Amino acid sequence: MNLKEWIFTTDHKRVGILYLIGSIAAFGVAGIMALLMRAELSAIGPTITADPTTYNVWLYAHGAIMILGFQIPALTGFFANYCVPLMIGAKDVAFPRVNALSVWLFYVGVILALLTFFIPDPPDVMWTGYPPYSTITAGNTALYSLTVLILGFASIIGGVNFLTTVAFMRAPGLGWGKLNVFVWCILGAFVMQLIFVPVLGSAVTLISLDKYLGTHFFDPAMGGDVLTYQNLFWFYSHPAVYVIFLPFIGVVFEIIATFARNPVFNYKAAVYGGIGGIVLISGEVWIHHLYVSGMPDWLRIGQMVSTLLISVPVGLLVISLVGTLYKGAISFETPMLYALGVVFLFLIGGLTGIPLAITSLTVNLSETYYVVGHFHYVMAVAGTFAIFGGVYYWFPKMSGRMYNELWGKIGFWITFVGVNIVFWTMMDIGARIGLPRRYYDYAQFPQAADAQHLMTIGAVILGVGFVIALLNWIIGAAKGPKAGDNPWGSPSLEWTTVSPPPHGNWPSPPSVSEEWSPYAHGKR
């Protein structure tokens, strides 16, 4: 294998795999941070570090890297790159060099994030970076700003690329109504990235301007306002959760349709109602992150209602997912286990968002472990399961080889048990005791000690499951049995080429007929 051909590649599949490698490495690092945090929290008082700042830096790195270095790049970088051109029958993306630029900017962003562990004054501003703390801390806030800026910029240029690709490079005969649900999800995610990332970029730039260049955006003593930052930040970061959600639910759609050997139930409802609805509403709900910061009532009531109304498009998506099982011929290979796991765990995570959306209930729940439990279920668990399931699903396509089915299932079940131990307990102590998040120590909440100890054990269990999956991929890619071009028997276009596909994907571009659809099983 020629290393130069990989590093300087402009091919969408190799760019995608570079994204995968980078984001899984980021997941490993941020996961290790999680284990360190869990170890620290396993008992009251200092356990593995006596310095709260050390813990705060772990937490900062964990949150920022998991979201910006793992999930968004894995979903809008790896899956979008690997699958979208193959699914629409294109030879490559519209701007292959721009694509290569975006993956290397992503690596630069990750390198910056990793510098956290090597500089004397690491950032300790949490992934939200609220001023005034972020502008007065002795930590290196610039590192935070620059990491976010560069990762955001990488994502924007990827977005322009994919919107152009899907608009102009579909195979002959492949109309908008025949796109894979996953492709629609990517379109929705990138539209949101394009609109909202610039706002995040501005927000983090402003804190660095305030801290290092003497401006006063957030300094009340000079006429600035501390809450501006929070509004700008969440104006992006709420939509960002749907930038994560849409692609991951898109992956789950592909897996479930394939293993149930059924077309997606009520495709149009899922695409126009579900995905369209989410993109439409996502921009006017950010205030639900500021319910306890004294926002005025007139802003609050509208956004509470629209936050609750998100359950309508999301509900349509869930109905389509579950409906796809109806009269199916379901089999349970590892990707399908992960996908079904997502359905159940996302239900828990999504529904526990409902109390948070209600402005009066949040008064007791906000900033507690209940919130941490909510978003780990919906993002860290459902999202990560979808990513792992998707990698298993396209593994034979990417590598031409098969992973080990038994170990795949073992890994899944271990993680499944682990996540529920950890994150259910979080929601419980958050709602019942009110244990606040971002606490290095919790002496004022002795009732939480047992639960914390249990969660530490659970975290080790779930980590073992993830490591099994990683090893399964590495071993499978190196010496798994040959998989064939279409091991799952899916009619979707990516399975019509050889595994792994060559540069250009098909010897000559495919064209599809009237009866074809990516979900027309058994009609070939």
Partner 1 sequence: MLDDKRTVGALLALAAAGPALAEKTIPTAARIIDPAAGWDHLWRDVLIDITVIGIIFALITAYLIWKYRRRPDNQQGSAPRLSAAAAIGWVVIPSFVFMADDFYLAANGWQLWNTFREVPADRLEVQLESGMYSWDYTYPNGVQTQNELKVPAGKPVLLRMTSRDTIHNHYIPDFRVKEDSMPGRITYLWFYPQKPGTHVVTCTEYCGVMHSYMAGQVVVLPPAEYQAWYEAEGAKVKKAAAPAATLSKTPA
Partner 2 sequence: MSHGGEAVHHGHGGHDEHEAWGTSVWPFVISFGVLALAVAFMLQFVYHKPFAAVIALGLGIPMILGGVAGWVSEAMGRGEGLSYGAMGWFILAEAMIFMSFFAAYWFMRLDVALVWPPAGTVPLPQVLPLVMTAVLVASSLTIHHAEHLMHAGDKRGFVRWLVVTILLGATFLGMSAYEWTHLIHDGFTIATNAFGTIFFSVTGLHGSHVVVGLAIFVAGLVPALMGNISEGFWRTASLYWHFVDIIWFFVVSQVYYW
Chain residues that interact with Cu ion, rule: CB under 5 A: 238
Q: Draw the binding track, 242-281, toward partner 1 (x: CB under 8 A; -: no contact).
A: ------------------xxxx-xx-xx---x--------
One of 3, 118, 298, 508 touching partner 2 (CB under 8 A): 508
Q: What's the min distance (Å) between Cβ of 465 and partner 2?
A: 31
User: Of 51 and 121, which CB lies nearer to partner 2 in the complex structure?
Assistant: 121
User: Of 313 and 480, which CB lies nearer to Cu ion in the complex structure?
Assistant: 313
User: Of 8 and 413, which CB lies nearer to ligand HEA in the complex structure?
Assistant: 413
Query: Residue 204: which of 129, 140, 153, 136 has the closest Cα?
Result: 129
Q: How far apart are CA 506 and CA 512, in angstroms?
A: 14
DSSP states along 382-415:
HHHHHHHHHHHHHHHHHHSB---HHHHHHHHHHH
Sign of the Cα pseudo-torsion (466, 250, 100, 485, in order): positive
Both tokens assigned to 108:
């630069």
Would you state the torsion angle of the CA atoms of residues 342, 344, 347, 350, taken in this order, to the nearest 10 degrees? -40
Should residue 1 be labelled a site residue for partner 2 when binding is judged by CB under 8 A?
A: no
Query: Residue 476: which of 404, 397, 387 has the closest Cα?
Result: 404
One of 156, 358, 460, 477 touching partner 1 (CB under 8 A): 358
Could you tell which of partner 2, ligand HEA, partner 1, none binds residue 31, using a CB distance below 5 to 8 A set by kind? Answer: ligand HEA
Could you tell which of ligand HEA, Cu ion, partner 2, none binds residue 462, using a CB distance below 5 to 8 A set by kind? Answer: ligand HEA
Should residue 225 be labelled a site residue for partner 1 when binding is judged by CB under 8 A?
A: yes
Name, in order, each residue with C-beta under 8 angstroms of 52's C-beta and a sequence gap of 6 or more.
440, 441
Q: How far apart are CA 65 and CA 29, in angstroms?
A: 8
Q: What's the min distance (Å) between Cβ of 104 and partner 2?
A: 3
Only one of the segments 22-30, 176-184, 293-301, 492-500 lies at the binding site for partner 1 (rule: CB under 8 A); that segment is 293-301
Should residue 437 be labelled a site residue for partner 1 when binding is judged by CB under 8 A?
A: yes
Q: Report whether 62 contacts 39 (CB < 8 A).
A: no
Could you tell which of partner 2, Cu ion, ligand HEA, none binds residue 155, using a CB distance below 5 to 8 A set by kind? Answer: none
Query: Residue 372: which of 310, 417, 434 has the closest Cα?
Result: 434
Could you tell which of partner 1, ligand HEA, Cu ion, none binds residue 224, using a CB distance below 5 to 8 A set by kind? Answer: partner 1
Q: What is the 3-state secondary structure (H, E, C) of 57-119?
A: HHHHHHHHHHHHHHHHHHHHHHHHHHHHHHHCCCCCCCCHHHHHHHHHHHHHHHHHHHHCCCC
One of 284, 467, 498, 500 touching partner 2 (CB under 8 A): 498
Site for partner 2 in 187-226 (CB under 8 A): 194-199, 201-203, 206, 208-209, 212-217, 219-220, 222-225
